[in-house]
Amino acid sequence: MSVRHNDKLQKIFNSLNADSRFTTWLWFLMKHNRPDIFLGEFRSSGMRNLMAEAIINQPELKQTIENQNRADLLPEQSLQWITSKKRQNAFLIKKLTEKNGTNYTGGPDNLTGRELTIAAIDTWQIDKTQKSAIVNQIRSEWETHTESDHLFKWFNDPDEKEKLNTAWEIAKDKYSFLTFHQSRPQEIDDLIILLDSMLITTPEKILLMNSIKKRWSQNKYRAKMTGKKQYNFILSDKAIKRLDKLADKHDLKRTQVLDILLKMEEEKGIYIQERLKQLVDS
């Protein structure tokens, strides 16, 4: 969020960048340490002014906030690897919860995604050097975790929705707890997030994807065979040679040759009738 030059909060902290990240961190800091100060709803239109007025009325707060800001916030460049992608932030929030035991589901409804992840890091009250080391460790865990993402590129085509439906049916059969998940994933990231929550290994992902691809191929084959039936015929060697010769000549499959011949005989009615006449005359 850009900060206007006449913004009261920015004027108070003229040595800091009182942007959206700073404001979010400050909201949590003041809520926790000074619950007596009214700040309004998170990100309400008057929130920044209420913060500024409180600090103006209690000047000693300014130095306390500046000191805490230096103690809490990591440099922006050390967090640039965190994207706005839903799956990554779900993974990071889960890891941060494991590390510090904080439940981040009870925060403001309008704090989500990357901003929630950054706020979780910023408001974590531990030594800054230790915080930096843990964040780097989580980054390494994320990079390791996503090494197998190439397995899911198979979904990236116009059939993604249908493939996802097949994947959902297979995953529910394989992991029974998913049957209690009410909503069907609408995009591949939703499914992968569910799989992430189970921390399945790369070999398990490979087996799952093989099962999904197999079922998909079976479904496509069945759809392709709609309106067709299999018949077994005994043909003479001579008939088979004729069939193969025609198939090779026109670069067709045997079934295609038979289909064409049957269709043309049905439409023209020439060859069978002529052959029968020859047999009678002989």
How far apart are alpha carbons 93 and 73 in whole angstroms? Answer: 17
Angle at which helices 160-174 and 188-197 cross, to 10°: 20
How far apart are alpha carbons 213 and 219 in whole angstroms? Answer: 10
List the Cα angle 73/74/75 in 5-degree steps: 120
Q: Which of 125, 118, 126 is nearest to 21 (CA)?
A: 118
> According to the model, what pLDDT value does residue 1 have?
47
> According to the model, what pLDDT value does residue 227 have?
67
User: 91 near 140, Cβ under 8 Å?
Assistant: no
Q: For the chain of 282 residues, list the mean pLDDT of each consecutive stretch of 10.
A: 68 90 95 92 92 93 94 96 94 92 86 96 96 97 91 92 91 79 80 80 90 91 73 81 88 84 83 77 67
> According to the model, what pLDDT value does residue 228 have?
66
Instruction: At 207, list the tokens.
Output: 């087996």
Look at the block and give the residue holding tokens 């108070």.
12
User: 192 near 178, Cβ under 8 Å?
Assistant: no
pTM: predicted TM-score of the whole model, two decimal places: 0.71
How far apart are alpha carbons 71 and 59 in whole angstroms? Answer: 20
> According to the model, what pLDDT value does residue 273 have?
79
Q: Which of 24, 132, 146 is nearest to 85 (CA)?
A: 146
> According to the model, what pLDDT value does residue 118 have?
97
Instruction: At 55, list the tokens.
Output: 């600090």
How far apart are alpha carbons 94 and 96 in whole angstroms? Answer: 6
The count of residues in the chain is 282
> According to the model, what pLDDT value does residue 4 have?
54
Residues near 115 by beta carbon (within 8 Å), at least 6 away in sequence: 20, 21, 24
